[in-house]
Amino acid sequence: DAAAEFDEDIFLALVGEEDDDETDAASSLMIMALGAEQGDEVIVTSENAEAVEKIASLIEQDLDA
């Protein structure tokens, strides 16, 4: 799990969802529950800029596939 490589928490949020709940990027189950599909915009947040960049890149690859 890429998020586990970092000590800081990393959160994901799906843009356009009515609820503003963030999903823990370290939880595969919660990521699946997020329901992001190709073309959706996902916000990645963390105190670690390197973590944000890496996770955002992985999400971009998966959602563009």
What range does the domain containing 19 cover?
2-64
pTM, to two decimals: 0.82
Number of domains in the chain: 1
Alpha-carbon dihedral sign for residues 63, 36, 40, 9:
negative
Q: E strands of 1-65, at which residues?
A: 10-14, 23-24, 42-46
- The CATH number given to whatever domain includes residue 34 is 3.30.1340.10
For the stretch 3-62, pLDDT in tens is 999 999 999 999 987 666 789 999 988 888 888 888 889 999 999 999 999 999 998 887
What does the pLDDT read at residue 19? 63
What does the pLDDT read at residue 53? 96
